[in-house]
Structure 1
Amino acid sequence: MTRLEHIRRRNEWENDVVEAAMMMARERAPDSDSTMNSKPTTPPMNILVVDDKPQNLLAMQALLADTQPELQVLTAESGHEALELLLTHDVMLALLDVQMPGMDGFTLAELMRGAERTRHVPIIFLTAGAKENQRSFKGYEAGAVDFIYKPVDAHVLRSKVAVFADLHRQRMLLAERIAEQERLARVNALMLSALSHDIRGPLSVMMLNAELLIRQTEQPAMQKAGARMKAAASLLGRQVDHLGSLAQRPCDLLQVKVKRGDLATLAAQRLDIEANQAVLWSPPEFERLGDTVGDFDPGLMAQALDQLLMQAATHAGDAAIRIQVDGNAHRSLLLRVSFDTVLSAEASTHLFGGHEPVSGMASPHVGPGLHDPERVARAHGGSLIGGSRQRQGTMFELLLPRHQAER
């Protein structure tokens, strides 16, 4: 096909479409009453058409009129006019003519890609020129998802627009579901936080009464019963703290490469490395309880262990550091680092965020000093808590699910 024949066919197509558009507009012109009473049931989906020829814009409106019931066609005769429309309208698809005076389609596409509001708008270029690989490459580099050559095949154009409309609906539906899930997560977190606060009050009463029972009775059996009550209340309090930590929304999660491994073996290996031995005044007391095999990222857990050891060595002073890896629970692994030193107010703020303990119980929050190991715990679906109190010393407790499939 010669260039003259191509131009003649394009002009004939544009004239035919314009006449068809005018006829369809006259046939579908609604009366004033029906227009006033009609209400849109779904939000419109905007499609932007940019072309410097008004007859081409009218032709595209006619072709897209029956594609989707909620489709709204926005037209612009220049790149500057298109940018003004994009500032005030959300667009699900843009059809850009390549050859326009002043700002051409490629330049407009690059500007759209450079703006946060329009960065993800799909772009289809419309061109009356011959197919050239160089032009196509330039268009795809500018951000195009497709090229359509004039004269436009109405069936092809409508099919492509229908596909993008379906994708837009799916994105909107997904965004709504994500927003609803986030809302429910916030509600659940608030409820869990409130319940945790309410539980800590009775637990603190139990611990105080158990302490009074231990001190005021001389019967060994009663003292033993009081000690068991105090230990059980303390354990339950830490579980409540873990629930409060898990209720906080995770953000910026790390990428976890899970492998089956032994957490106690990994902890023992980290104690043997030269870097950790250099910061520890004396070898820590190490204890393994139960089955400590589980699923975790060995690299991330090694980093978390090193950071917990560093914080313990920094703040323990002359006190001995105790490390315990507890695998007695069926579904979880527990790593506990503790020492008898009670932290100063500044150190407590650095490690635990300055949150006041509730009724003598530990706070589920951590501060900047424990931010990195907490991220590791959350990336595994676990949590990190800690506390520093008189007569109990300081404790960091990292809880992990034993099997990642059960998260």
Structure 2
Amino acid sequence: MNRPENPTPDEPPTSDARGDAAAAERAPAQPIDWAVAARTAAALAPPGPRMSARQARAETEGLRAAAEASVPHVHRLTRLAAAEDLRDSQLLVVDRGTWAKANTHSFQALLRPTFDHLARTRPGEYRTSTHPLATRATATELGGILAWLSSKVLGQYDPFSALTPGPDGDRRPGSGGRLMLVAPNVAMVRAELNVIPEDFRMWVCLHEQTHRVQFAAAPWLAEHLRDEITGFTSAMFDKSESLSGRLRAALLAARPGGDEAGPADGAADGHGVPAPRGGLMAALHDEEDRARMSRLTAVMSLLEGHANVVMDGVDASVVSSVKTIRRRFGERQQRRSPLDRWVRRMLGMDAKMRQYQDGQRFVTAVVEQLGMDGFNVVWDAPELLPTEAEVHAPEQWVRRIRATA
């Protein structure tokens, strides 16, 4: 399945491509050649399953229909009014290459504040890191990582596309986040599991649309997450003897990814936030770094756990074969090759799986004590987000919320 349709998620509707190119020429050099990263990601993304044009069109239309049909169920289960109006964000059905290329733009939006910080605080080393050979090498590595991930992701809600500046340096007006559904991967996994196509599409879309609703319900959340990521990645560079020595770790820390949409089978992080453990632990030099990582871990556990609660909240009246899908999807992750398991550990994906489990237990426990409306205060302000300790001890968060009520 080479291209189910021809969307351009990396170019929002209000974008002027010529203006963007001119702005890129005027902008200071950065340690990553973003154009090379985008070309590499798109070129190296492996082709999807072979499909006729008719089959590809049916898959695309089926995903769009499932995405639309899933929203009322997300609204009913989350009780979040934001689900009633999602017009500020985009829904895109894409192929692997488009997903990979689009994520280089998410990286650019996420890392821009960090690179600006480094240019101010370490100008000499920063200039060295922006040598054309170095920027192309780093871009090629980033493109390769995203190309590999492009075959693993079923869907991704990217809140950071709204933070990408336009040609004048300001955020593009009227641009929310974007939900990307990767059609060839949904088709491939559904065929592996041998499940009902309409049911599997709905199951995937329930999880992904929940992420879209979360960020609509908490419009402050995208900026909050980017600020935390900027603080984390900037500190990594500030405490490093070599900028190049920390650049790869920073790429992994800010990695935009997506979901394989399962209770414990996340391919990568759908919101550009680091997995809590793994290779990045070596980058945590002091208590402040660990505190930042802990806050990010808690937020991601909340987001993924909440989406899983919604996905598991439907019964056979909504997804007739939901029990079969859950069982076979869980069995699938046990059949990964040794190489695939090694790469996932290297990229922190094993930790990502724990986020689904920890967060789902947290949300379930809180809803049992406070009800869904009581839980939903979590979307009101950053200070109401759970800490990592509270994720593992939900009764602590419940006591804190009751004390502030």
What TM-score, normalized by structure 2, do the two folds share? 0.21
More helix by share: 2
Which structure has the bigger radius of gyration?
Answer: 1
More strand by share: 1
Q: Which has the higher contact order (CA 8 A, sep 6+)?
A: 2
